[in-house]
Amino acid sequence: MPLHSAGLLLFRLRDDHIELFLAHPGGPYWAKKDAGVWTIPKGLIDEGEDPLAAARREFAEETGHAIDGDFTPLGELKQKGNKIVHAWAVAGDLDADTIISNTYSIQWPPNSGQWRRFPEVDRAGWFGVDEARVKILPGQAEFIDRLLTLLDAN
């Protein structure tokens, strides 16, 4: 049974260019990685939870910012490992330098017996479409294309 997660693709218009808000995963495994590892803020959907409610909750947990607005479904994509990600686009703005993420615990260094806490998201940023395509996980890149198609239709 695949895991289902839900997230938000926040976007804004700056100087007639679309910018996308992406999050960088926290923790030692991701610390020195950049291209192809950024993500939309997202997380697992709790049993019985509405997927959009999960997306909004996870965005707030991973950034410290609650987002309101008109949420447009972008559908779902299957990532490596069979995780299915449901996403919604929403126009908005926030200061990426002010994010505050929840944390998780792992044994670090591995097999050391020492447990350490790390933020789920260690930083976030706004990126133009071309840069976002380089930064985002390959399994989520289609969400960018879907957003652009929706924006072109309006």
Q: Print the SS3 string covering 91-103.
A: ECCCCHHHCCCCE
User: How many domains does the chain fold into?
Assistant: 1
Determine contact, residues 120/104, Cβ cutoff 8 Å: yes
Give me the CATH number covering residue 102: 3.90.79.10
Domain boundaries, position 16: 4-153
* Cα end-to-end distance, the chain, whole Å: 37
Q: pLDDT tens across 20-34, in order?
A: 999 999 999 999 999
> What tens digit of pLDDT does each residue of 43-96 get?
999 999 999 999 999 999 999 999 999 999 999 999 988 899 999 999 999 999
Pair 89, 71: CB distance under 8 Å: yes
